[in-house]
Structure 1
Amino acid sequence: MIKLPDDFVRKYQKLLGKDEANKLFTAIKSQPSKKGYRINSLKENKQVSYNTQSHIPVIPNAFYGEISGHDPEWISGTVYSQDPSAMFPSYIINAKPGERVLDLCAAPGGKSTAIAEQLQSRGLLVANEISPSRAKVLRENLERWGVTNALITNDKPENLTRQFPRFFDKILVDAPCSGEGMFRKDQQAIEYWSQDYVMKCQERQKKILTAAVKMLKPEGTLVYSTCTFSPEENEEIISWLSQKFELEILPIELGTNQVAKGQPNWADHNKKLANTLRFWPTAAIGEGQFVAKLKLPAKPEMSMTGSRKENKKRKRRLANIAPNKAEIKLIAAILDQFNLPSALLNWRSDCLIRNNHVFIPAQDTTGLHVRILANGTELGLLKKNRFEPGHQLAMVLAAQKQTRIINLTANSYTSYLHGEAIKVNTDLKGFVLVSYHNFILGFGKVANQVLKNYYPKGLRF
């Protein structure tokens, strides 16, 4: 049985009244957490083996149910496991193809993958995560999802601010928080909780948001979300944003009565705080969540500090270079065998080489001084007199119907994920895509009816 902190119980009895508070406590203690998943619209094959009868309200291609990280649907980037309530912030940001969007606290990648779908490979997604270990997971999930237009960074928000002043059309800040909304699925969140921790989170959220506002274009949209109930981290933060930066609190229409309004009386009584949304576990959508949508004025008063020019004295990164004719020929010998999605059609003119890695950049990073983990689509690696396609390319090629495919059996599927060579009966030779149940998993190379395994070592089971 979950034991809630005494201070937490007293706090929400005071805020909600004893009857409503007891309903919340019962939902946390006695009701099972909700699990959900989304189906990737960027992939050609969307026919999953899971039950798709129980739809999550409002969110497209989203269903209640539990998936396994060992299933081909997950390995291929066809599904993403995500708390149902956590799907709403990226839905609310409503990114349009061609826009520049920043997901500032992006790991593990659920919201970034959803934004990437909205952009449809057009425009720019900057997905940032300050933690190196979590940033690695973010990169893996975006590559698995088949995203071509992401710049993945691992840096502090204030460092990004100097590089991207007034740059983004839309910014999502899913802020680090006290995690009260995760209590019924995360015992550590309960153990870590205190009112002092709530206030420390508020201080950190203000620092992150101050950086975010500096990167937002005039009339740009900021979506702020947390997975906590705490007014200090929700209504009070939105009130602070509205007063300090003159951001307008926008209404959010979802078309469902399962979501509650924010509480103006839990902050400064600004009536527009009722435009914000609260997801309570008692409503049975998912775990606890808060979301607000705000708009920057057309002429923001806030002065900008820092710019890319200020960083010219820093040590320059190694230059990216365009491939020569011989290198183009090596790359074409592989790529021309596959059906390329639209994002890759102009690879000959768009691709660059850096340390022998061939990639199509999502963003020109000349003079950009941030920690970059990935930029756009890595096509593969140039080695002596040959080109070796990369794993991300396989995930992107899954957007189109392909013919150079080896379909695995149940036993060979397990062997492939282990990194083993596999005996195959095929007339195909050279690099091929490897699939199981029509879900593309990665590359292999066939010679003498043996499939050499190119599934990345870091992903193997």
Structure 2
Amino acid sequence: MMNLPPLLLKDLQQVKDFNEEAFLAAHQQPSVTSVRMHPVKHSEAFAINEQVPWCSEGRYLTERPVFTLDPLYHAGAYYVQEASSMFLQQVLKQTVTDNNNLRVLDLCAAPGGKSTLLASFLGPDSLLISNEVIRTRASILEENMTRWGYMNTWVTSNDPRDLARLTGYFDVIVVDAPCSGSGLFRKDARALDEWSEANVQLCSQRQQRILADVWPALKEDGILIYATCSYSPQEDEQILDWLAAELHATGIKVATQAEWGVVETGSSKGLYGYRFSPDKVKGEGFFIAALRKTSVADAMKPVRYKALHDKKAHQQSSYLLSQDFLCLQADRENYHAINPLHEADWHQLQGKVYLRKTGIQLGMPTAKEWLPAHDVALSIDRSASLPSIALSKEQALKFLRKEDFDLPTQNKGWFLLTYNGLGLGWIKSLGNRFNNYLPKHWRIRMEIPDADWE
């Protein structure tokens, strides 16, 4: 039996519509599993599953499968995401009237749930910066954004105070702030073990610092979306009051439907917040709010720059993608593709923040050919005319484990391997055999039971 902290229950007595008996009962039930489908990489996976009511691509699962053993997961057909946090889609639809030509920051982005949702929402001319200050978590974020496959998503790894150098640059900033994690008690027993009133206060102070540090980067009249997976008012409504008092932010109301079970709360200064609790919704604990910046924000001055588009490399690699792109050299061993409309952004940002990944990695030229990067195989912009080989599930899993498997004899050259029409990675055929170019750190390491090969 899960025993919830008495101090937390005491704090929640002040929360609108809190029902302690129902709340405690819900925390004796298992957590819910849900996924969000890719809007472009269509597949039949979970097509008939119940939809998450506030997210058009969200689906509930009746049980939790071993996602590692599903090639569609590795192809980016869906993202495993907690259902309550998918409410971000509703907030975006109702507060951002035009999804084109925006500059958007996901400040605390790892592992990538909200960033992949943002990427799906934004138009191709918008630019998403997904940031994670902790380098080990940034690696996971980079993998997930690569799997999602959008050219207009870049990954950075910076402290919020570093991003403050980008004064007045962002139209929207999403801050899914580090928190005490009480909303995840059903999913993660460690969150319950680590919870304390002192940690709630520490998290509240950290949240204020993060928000104050990044605030200069938001444009005047820009949108801040603040979220936590904490039930504690000190990390939720009280942070909204702090934003109103210290940064003069104003609240934005988001429409909900009664049958969803989402509770609209008001802070003492009249700002709107939206609470999710497992006794009321089919999901875990979550809090989200949208606010508008009313104070003046100094805009960055445009930078003068020399065009770095590599015409020769572009000519060699243009067959890989169906969309036009600028070809920039990332380092000695890699080129990357970005939207031509984002050239000025690249020059503006690279001098102020650490750009970990920009756009789609293309690979590099050798003396005789172009060596394609893994990114291209997963990109939604990859060319439909690339030579490809469709794999069975058994073949796909063996490819993902970097094990030997049989393929019909092919002509020599590079082939894209697909599963259910979605790219998985590259092989180079040598005629009577082939080399597997799946990056080593993407390899499935777990043993696969016999029943999961088919």
Question: Identity of paired residues, percent?
Answer: 30
Q: Does the aligned pair in 2 maintain the 1:422–1:450 contact within 8 Å?
A: no
Identify the residue that residue 323 of structure 1 maps to in structure 2. 310
CA distance in 2 between counterparts of 1:431 and 1:401 reads 14
The equivalent of 1:80 in structure 2 is 79
Is the aligned partner of 1:351 residue 2:327? yes
> CA 1:52/1:296 → structure 2, altered by over 3 Å: closer, same or farther?
same
| The one of 355, 370, 373 aligned to 2:353 | 370
Q: Mean alpha-carbon deviation: is it higher for 366-375 or for 125-134? A: 366-375
Paired residue for 1:230? Answer: 232
- Counterpart-to-counterpart distance in 2, 1:302 and 1:243: 17
Q: How does 1:279-358 map to 2 (within 5 A)?
A: 279-297=276-294, 300-301=295-296, 321-323=308-310, 325=312, 327-329=313-315, 331-332=316-317, 335-336=318-319, 340-341=321-322, 345-347=323-325, 350-354=326-330, 355-358=332-335
| Cα offsets for 1:178-235 (capped at 9, x unmatched) | 1111111111111111111111111000111112321111111111111111111111
- Contact kept, 8 Å, 2:46 with 2:59, in 1: the verdict is no
DSSP 3-state at the match of 1:52:
coil
User: What are the Cα deviations for residues 347-402 of structure 1, in whole angstroms up to 9, with x where unaligned?
Assistant: 3xx11113231112354135523222101111112334432000111111576645
> Partner residue of 1:89?
88
**What is the rounded CA distance, in whole Å, between the counterparts of 2:420 and 2:376 in structure 1?**
20
| 1:213-228 matches, cutoff 5 A | 213-228=215-230
Q: Which residue of 1 aligns with 2:21?
A: 22
CA distance in 1, matches of 2:242, 2:18: 30
Mean Cα deviation higher: 3-12 or 123-132: 3-12
Q: Which among 196, 199, 202 is matched to residue 201 of structure 2?
A: 199
8 A contact 1:353–1:359 mirrored in 2: yes
Query: Is contact 2:327–2:337 with CA below 8 Å preserved after alignment?
Result: yes
Structure 2 SS opposite 1:204: helix
| Partners of 2:393 and 2:71 in 1: CA distance | 10
Q: Which amino acid aligns with 1:7?
A: L
C-alpha change, 1:191 and 1:351, in structure 2 (3 Å) is same
1:57 paired residue among 53, 58, 69: 53
Does the CA-based 8 Å contact 1:182-1:287 persist in structure 2? yes
Distance 1:18 1:92 in 2: 22
* Helix, strand or coil at the partner of 1:15: coil
Deviation of 1:47 after TM superposition, in Å, equals 2.0
Q: CA deviation at 1:11?
A: 3.3
How far the C-alpha of 1:285 sits from its partner, in A, is 2.4
Counterpart amino acid of residue 37 in structure 1: V
User: Which of 136, 139, 149 in structure 1 is aligned with 2:139?
Assistant: 136
Q: Alpha-carbon deviation of 1:49?
A: 3.0
**Match status 1:108 vs 2:111:** yes
Kindly provide the amino acid, as one letter, of the partner of residue 365 in structure 1. Answer: H
Cα distance change on mapping 1:17 and 1:253 into 2, 3 Å: closer
Q: Distance in 1 between matches of 2:124 and 2:16?
A: 48
2:337 matches 1:360:
yes
1:410-421, aligned counterparts within 5 Å? 410-421=393-404
Contact map agreement 1:165 1:214 (CA 8 A) in 2: yes
Question: Which residue of structure 2 lines up, in the alignment, with residue 174 of structure 1?
Answer: 176
Q: Tell me by how many angstroms 1:243 deviates.
A: 1.7
Q: Extract unaligned runs of 5+ from structure 2.
A: 445-454
Shift of the 364–11 alpha-carbon distance from structure 1 to 2, 3 Å rule, reads closer
What is the distance in 2 between the residues matched to 1:17 and 1:251?
Answer: 16
The CA deviation string for residues 62-115 of structure 1, in whole angstroms up to 9 with x for no partner, is 100145122011000011000000111244134613211000010000100011
4+ long deviations beyond 4 Å: 16-19, 301-304, 397-403
Q: Number of residues paired by the alignment?
A: 429
Q: What is the CA deviation profile of residues 34-85 of structure 1, one whole-angstrom value per residue up to 9, with x for unaligned ones?
A: 1110111132xx1233353311002011100145122011000011000000
Q: The residue matched to 2:121 in structure 1 has which SS?
A: helix
Aligned to 1:393: 376
Aligned counterpart, 2:7: 7
The aligned residue for residue 392 of structure 2 is 409
Three-state SS of the structure 1 residue aligned to 2:164 is helix
TM-score scaled by length of structure 1: 0.86
- Please give the secondary structure, in 2, of the residue aligned with 1:276: strand
* 2:366 corresponds to: 383
Q: TM-score, normalised by structure 2?
A: 0.87
Cα distance in 2 for residues equivalent to 1:19 and 1:262? 12
Q: CA 1:62–1:98 in structure 2 vs 1: closer, same or farther (change >3 Å)?
A: same
Deviations 1:395-441 (A, max 9, x none): 11576645621112333222211224543215443111101233321
